[in-house]
Amino acid sequence: MESFDAQNVPSPVFFADAMLGRLARWLRILGYDTAYDKIISDESLISRVLTEQRWLLTRDSYLVQRKVLRGRHTLIASDHLQEQLRQLRSELLLDLDLSEKTASRCASCNNILKPIAHKEAALTVPAYVASLHPRFVQCPNCGRIYWPGTHWTHMLARLQELRAS
Q: How far is CA 54 from CA 103, 128, 129, 152, in A?
A: 19, 40, 37, 27
| Crossing angle of helices 81-92 and 21-29, rounded to 10° | 60
What local confidence, expressed as pLDDT, does residue 101 receive? 60
Q: Which among 58, 92, 126 is the end of a domain?
A: 92
Could you tell me where the DSSP H helices lie in the chain?
A: 21-29, 42-51, 81-92, 118-122, 127-132, 150-164
CB proximity list for 80: less than 8 A, separation 6 or greater: none
Structurally, the chain folds into a number of domains equal to 2
Quick one: 88 and 15 in the same domain?
Answer: yes
CB proximity list for 63: less than 8 A, separation 6 or greater: 17, 42, 45, 46, 56, 69, 73
Quick one: 65 and 132 in the same domain?
Answer: no
Report if residue 100 sits inside a domain. Answer: no
Report if residue 1 sits inside a domain. Answer: no
Size of the chain, expressed as the number of residues it contains: 165
Quick one: 148 and 80 in the same domain?
Answer: no
Quick one: 124 and 53 in the same domain?
Answer: no
Sheet (strand 73-75) strand order? 33-36, 13-16, 55-58, 73-75
Report if residue 137 sits inside a domain. Answer: yes
Quick one: 15 and 68 in the same domain?
Answer: yes
- Work out the angle at residue 69's Cα, subtended by the Cα atoms of residues 91 and 105, and round it to the nearest 5 degrees: 60
Average pLDDT along the chain, 165 residues, taken 10 residues at a time: 46 92 94 94 95 96 92 95 94 83 83 95 95 94 91 84 80
Quick one: 20 and 87 in the same domain?
Answer: yes
Quick one: 82 and 119 in the same domain?
Answer: no
Range of the domain at 40: 6-92
**What's the pTM?**
0.87
Quick one: 83 and 126 in the same domain?
Answer: no
